[in-house]
């Protein structure tokens, strides 16, 4: 699947799922003073951004060290995206983390809420498919993290205005779109695998 700047940004937004992470952030920041919450959110978003950015630059080397092909990464990424999408469509109690004593640092907000395995695999997949467009993928990641920061900083207002039902309906809609993307990735991976087998 060939990505553009816009489609890569949308994909990263669907995976990082800032709206779906609102309950997780709200619960983790419950014991943090209200005047410190925006700072903590921005710090965690920055940590997640730096980690994902690092994977954009070391992704190719990581694949070579682990002796993994782009095809295996694409199929594995499709499976992970599909599982993430199912959790968005059929959310359970696992969406809410246990309250953290004091200020949370890195875990569970930066990792795995924002920079989880699916996000790491996706940035590696983008770079492995089109290394020459790395600056475009960095721009897409930057926009994604900026949107996440804005949504999460305004999360309390968004919850009050939209309400839980509207947010749940929106997240399930995004999950449905992510299912379609995951299936498209899987089908293209299978097609590429069949083509490689037939040429051997």
**Residue 100 binned pLDDT confidence (cut-offs 50, 70, 90):** low
**Residue 129 binned pLDDT confidence (cut-offs 50, 70, 90):** confident
Given a cut of 80, whether residue 101 has pLDDT beyond it is no
Residue listed under structure tokens 């899987």: 186
For CA atoms 24, 26, 30, 33, the dihedral sign is positive
pTM of the model: 0.79
Distances in Å between the Cα of 59 and the Cα atoms of 51, 90, 101, 124 are 11, 31, 34, 5
Residue 78: how many CB atoms within 10 A of its CB?
23
Give the pLDDT mean for 179-198: 86
Residue 40: how many CB atoms within 10 A of its CB?
19
**Residue 27 binned pLDDT confidence (cut-offs 50, 70, 90):** confident
Terminal Cα distance for the chain, rounded: 23
Condensed to tens digits (0 to 9), the pLDDT of residues 39-78 reads 999 999 999 999 999 989 987 777 778 787 777 877 887 8
DSSP conformation letters of 21-81: HHHHHHHHTTTS-HHHHHHHHHHHHHHHHHHHHHHHHHHHHHHHHTT--HHHHHHHHHHHH
Give the pLDDT mean for 176-193: 85
Is omega for the bond preceding 108 within 30 degrees of 0, making it cis? yes
Q: What is the pLDDT of residue 61?
A: 79
Give the pLDDT mean for 84-98: 68
Q: Could you give the CA distance from residue 111 to residue 47 in angstroms, rounded to a whole number?
A: 9
């Amino acid at each position: 699947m060939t990505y553009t700047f816009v489609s890569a940004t949308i994909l990263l937004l669907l995976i990082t799922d800032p709206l779906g992470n609102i309950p997780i952030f709200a619960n983790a920041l419950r014991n943090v003073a209200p005047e410190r919450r925006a700072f903590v959110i921005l710090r965690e978003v920055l940590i997640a951004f730096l980690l994902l950015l690092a994977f954009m630059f070391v992704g190719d080397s990581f694949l070579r060290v682990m002796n993994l092909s782009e095809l295996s990464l694409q199929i594995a990424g499709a499976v992970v995206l599909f599982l993430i999408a199912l959790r968005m469509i059929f959310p359970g109690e696992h969406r809410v983390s246990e309250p953290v004593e004091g200020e949370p640092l890195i875990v569970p907000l930066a990792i795995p809420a924002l920079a989880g395995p699916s996000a790491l695999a996706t940035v590696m997949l983008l770079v492995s498919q089109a290394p020459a467009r790395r600056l475009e993928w960095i721009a897409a990641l930057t926009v994604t993290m900026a949107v996440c920061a804005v949504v999460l900083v305004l999360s309390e207002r968004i919850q009050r205005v939209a309400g839980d039902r509207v947010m749940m309906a929106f997240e399930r809609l995004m999950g449905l779109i992510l299912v379609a993307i995951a299936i498209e990735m899987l089908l293209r991976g299978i097609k590429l695998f069949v083509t490689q087998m037939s040429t051997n």
